[in-house]
């Protein structure tokens, strides 16, 4: 009996010990796990501990998930079921106290890294042997994504910056796509912002070889030669389009060829090596002009045409004025050649309403004139003295040519012409009144000398012989040789 009581007592002591151990364990579990029942009947459990391991199952002791805490904060490990490097995901706080997520490969090396930096997220993706792959990062007002080569240098970058429009302000944001070579040199850049889009391309030894923009003012393109030795630019604005080929950069004072077209017309300009404009061709409103310019911008040669108006050609050479000028319109055609030293010494030839003419002047004084009269052509030679110089003219008449000697005021002093009977010479006084007349009538010839309009001496060669008559002041014959009474030969 005593033995049974002793055994029972020992059993009760053992049971009490187990109960105390269970209570201690439950107390410890209660410190870690707290269960609350809500009013809606749902149960919530709160677990408080420094480490929490989730194994792969009751029969395995391998950790599948590890939840822990360090001085930097909480962390989570997620492991693979098996393998040498089982840790696949790590979630925790980095040395800067920012949250971080790491993904590792089966070789234990990191494949992806997601973390915060200055309150902006960053994601880096890597390949085996820590080979860089891509980076995505948030930035103030935008974000950035880069595609990397294995050494970490960026080959392609997509960037957006700017905080967007503010009240009363324009949107200053911009988006850029950049491509680079293996050495990091940019070879292609695309940009889009509030003003439009831009494209920049380059070569291994020069960035920005070709630039294309589309802005509010219109599209434009620039092509740059090696070391900016040459440049080609294209621009299309609202009212003007322009193409230029330059030695050096656009705007440099070097050789340039430019083509422009707009609402007012079109033009071509050619500049020499120092930038001086040498050729200017323009077309404006029913007209076209070609100018060859000197170093001072003055036209040395100017060719123009205006529809239904006129055409002209002007050449100055090295003179300060036009030395040669040709003008043609619907009524006349004119050629003017002047002295390089004196524009008032010139030759003018033209046709007006089917009438040709030629004029030679020296210091504005006429020297020779050739033209057309009612009966034929005329040539006039003028004396060099502007007031007293005489005039000699040769013209075609109704019967024969006419040679006329005149004073400067046009008063005829002598005329040599022809009639239907023969030639005739008339000499006048300074007032233009006839004083001597010499002529031929068929086979006869005569000479008449006048004084104040009255015949003074008459000489004639007739079939009967020569006759000389002398007249009085009234013009009546007073003496004749031979005498009238001997006209029968006696």
pLDDT single digits (tens) 100-113: 999 998 888 899 99
pLDDT band at 406 (very low <50, low <70, confident <90, very high): confident
The closest of 151, 158, 118, 119 to 135, measured between CA atoms, is 158
pLDDT of residue 43: 82
pLDDT band at 388 (very low <50, low <70, confident <90, very high): low
Average pLDDT over residues 73-78: 87
pLDDT band at 168 (very low <50, low <70, confident <90, very high): very low
pLDDT of residue 176: 92
Reduced to 3 states (helix: H, G, I; strand: E, B; else coil), residue 6 is: helix
Residue 125, pLDDT above cutoff 60: yes
Instruction: For residues 369 and 349, give the distance between their C-alpha atoms in angstroms, rounded to a whole number.
Output: 10
pLDDT of residue 430: 86
Average pLDDT over residues 23-32: 78
pLDDT single digits (tens) 47-66: 777 777 788 776 767 888 88
pLDDT band at 490 (very low <50, low <70, confident <90, very high): very low
Lowest mean pLDDT among 134-148, 423-437, 458-472, 476-490: 476-490
Q: Which of 6-10, 137-141, 266-270, 298-302 has the largest mean confidence?
A: 266-270
Average pLDDT over residues 358-382: 87
Instruction: For residues 355 and 377, give the distance between their C-alpha atoms in angstroms, rounded to a whole number.
Output: 10
Instruction: For residues 450 and 442, give the distance between their C-alpha atoms in angstroms, rounded to a whole number.
Output: 23
Which residues, in sequence order, are bridge partners of residue 445? 440, 461
Asked whether the beta carbons of 73 and 80 are under 8 A apart, the reply is no
pLDDT single digits (tens) 437-468: 999 988 899 999 998 888 889 999 988 889 99
Q: Select the more confidently predicted residue: 40 or 362.
A: 362
pLDDT of residue 182: 85
pLDDT band at 213 (very low <50, low <70, confident <90, very high): very high
- 204, 207, 213, 219: CA torsion to nearest 10: -80
Average pLDDT over residues 261-273: 91
pLDDT single digits (tens) 81-98: 887 778 889 999 888 888
% of residues, the chain, pLDDT over 70: 94
pLDDT of residue 485: 54
pLDDT of residue 376: 84
pLDDT of residue 150: 87
Average pLDDT over residues 383-410: 80
Q: Select the more confidently predicted residue: 424 or 453.
A: 424
Task: For the beta carbon of residue 223, count every other beta carbon within 10 angstroms.
Answer: 15
Mean pLDDT of the chain: 85
Average pLDDT over residues 149-171: 73
Q: Which of 16-20, 60-64, 335-339, 483-487 has the largest mean confidence?
A: 335-339
Instruction: For residues 133 and 147, give the distance between their C-alpha atoms in angstroms, rounded to a whole number.
Output: 6
Residue 171, pLDDT above cutoff 60: no
At residue 359, what are phi and psi to the nearest 5 degrees? -135, 130
Asked whether the beta carbons of 375 and 397 are under 8 A apart, the reply is yes
DSSP state of 369: E
Instruction: For residues 381 and 406, give the distance between their C-alpha atoms in angstroms, rounded to a whole number.
Output: 10
Lowest mean pLDDT among 19-28, 29-38, 263-272, 390-399: 29-38
pTM greater than 0.75:
no
pLDDT single digits (tens) 339-351: 888 888 999 999 9
% of residues, the chain, pLDDT over 90: 30
pLDDT single digits (tens) 279-323: 999 998 889 999 998 888 788 899 999 998 999 999 887 777 778
């Amino acid at each position: 009996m005593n033995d049974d009581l002793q055994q029972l007592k020992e059993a009760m002591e053992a049971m009490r010990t187990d109960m105390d151990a269970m209570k201690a364990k439950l107390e410890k579990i209660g410190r870690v796990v707290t269960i609350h029942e809500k009013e809606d009947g749902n149960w919530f459990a709160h677990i408080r501990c420094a480490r929490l391991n989730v194994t792969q199952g009751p029969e395995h002791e391998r950790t599948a998930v590890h939840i822990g805490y360090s001085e930097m904060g909480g962390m989570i490990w997620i492991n693979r079921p098996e393998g040498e490097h089982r840790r696949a995901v790590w979630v925790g706080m980095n040395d800067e106290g920012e949250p971080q997520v790491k993904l590792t490969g089966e070789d234990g090396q990191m494949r992806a890294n997601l973390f915060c930096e200055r309150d902006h997220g960053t994601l880096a993706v890597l390949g085996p042997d820590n080979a860089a792959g891509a980076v995505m990062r948030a930035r103030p007002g935008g974000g950035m994504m880069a595609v990397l080569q294995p050494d970490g240098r960026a080959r392609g970058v997509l960037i957006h910056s700017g905080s967007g429009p503010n009240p009363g302000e324009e949107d200053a944001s911009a988006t850029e796509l950049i491509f680079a070579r293996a050495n990091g040199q940019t070879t292609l850049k695309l940009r889009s912002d509030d003003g439009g889009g831009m494209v920049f391309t380059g070569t291994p030894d020069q960035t920005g070889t070709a630039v294309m923009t589309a802005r509010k003012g219109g599209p434009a393109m620039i092509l740059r030669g090696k070391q900016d030795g040459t440049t080609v630019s294209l621009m299309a604005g609202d009212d003007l389009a322009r193409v230029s080929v330059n030695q050096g950069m656009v705007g440099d004072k070097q050789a340039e060829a430019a083509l422009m077209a707009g609402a007012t017309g079109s033009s071509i300009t050619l500049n020499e090596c120092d930038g001086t404009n040498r050729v200017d061709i323009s077309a404006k409103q029913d007209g076209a002009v070609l100018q060859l310019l000197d170093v001072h911008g003055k036209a040395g040669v100017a060719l123009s045409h205006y529809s239904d108006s006129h055409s002209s050609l002007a050449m100055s050479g090295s003179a300060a004025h036009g030395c040669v000028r040709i003008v043609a319109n619907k009524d006349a055609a004119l050629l003017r050649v002047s002295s390089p030293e004196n524009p008032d010494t010139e030759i003018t030839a033209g046709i007006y309403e089917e009438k040709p003419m030629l004029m030679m002047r020296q210091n504005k004084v006429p020297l020779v004139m050739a033209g057309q009269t009612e009966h034929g052509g005329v040539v006039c030679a003028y004396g060099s003295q502007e007031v007293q110089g005489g005039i000699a003219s040769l013209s075609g008449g109704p019967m024969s040519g006419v040679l006329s000697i005149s004073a400067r005021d046009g008063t005829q002093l002598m005329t040599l012409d022809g009639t239907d009977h023969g030639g005739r010479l008339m000499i006048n006084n300074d007032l233009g009144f006839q004083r001597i007349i010499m002529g031929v009538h068929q086979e006869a010839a005569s000479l008449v000398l006048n004084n104040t309009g009255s015949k003074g001496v008459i000489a004639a060669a007739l079939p009967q012989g020569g006759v000389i008559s002398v007249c009085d002041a009234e013009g009546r014959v007073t003496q004749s040789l031979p005498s009238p009474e001997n006209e029968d030969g006696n």
